[in-house]
Amino acid sequence: MFSHCKAVIFDCDGVLVDSEYLCHLGLSQALQAEGIAEPADGLFREFQGVELALIFSAVARRHGRTLPADFESRYRAVVAQLFEQELRPTPGIEKALQQLTLPYCVASNGPRAKMEHSLGLTGLRDYFGEHLYSAYEVDAWKPDPGLFLAASSGLGVEPSRCLVVEDSAVGLQAALAAGMSALHYCPEGRGHLEEVPVISQLADLPALLGLTDG
């Protein structure tokens, strides 16, 4: 299906590591400390993959509040603690990485320190070497295609030859805007965008790239 692709760009949260819900749980807990009730399930459904600053602004507007200046640092401390306790690699991802013979990288809306932490905790960090790309470093957050374009440039592969593996609608939109192929990782098998194929088991990725006989 994707045999024309010569590089793979992975999102981090929700694709490489099972962290997306934990991030929203951490936000819910940090907001609760401010007296703001926002259940984690609702935050996850509404803001999956969205730039953090936009999430903060939306929640603050909804409650007619201004979040404290140090709220982001407190939120990140809560999330880091949740990661230490509960973070796991996404099922099948390590098997897929071991079979990939193409260049690949991580491109995340999160800061580099968060990627380093989550990938380190789950034993995935060494697979990526220097190829970690953060929206904070290129000043472009999904659905802006700039992050993925920076990643393809770093890998030395044309955008049209890159496959992006994403779990969020904004990430898939960024991939398509960058002129890349996209694959929606969704264990439940229901995609966000009709035109984007779904993968429910990441261990199947090498076969979709024509790298195995599977």
Contact 175, 49 (CB under 8 A): no
Cα-only R_g, the chain? 17
H or E element in which residue 96 lies? helix 93-99
Q: What is the DSSP letter of 198?
A: E
Contact 178, 158 (CB under 8 A): no
Q: Among the options 11, 13, 18, 144, which is catalytic?
A: 11
CB atoms within 10 A of CB 188: 7
Contact 164, 152 (CB under 8 A): no
Handedness of CA 119, 124, 125, 131 (dihedral sign): negative
Q: What is the rounded distance in angstroms from the CA atom of residue 180 to the CA atom of residue 178?
A: 6
Handedness of CA 37, 43, 49, 50 (dihedral sign): negative
**Tokens 């600053």, residue?**
53
Structure tokens at 46: 């509404």
Active site residue 11: yes
**SS3 of 122, please?**
coil
Active site residues: 11
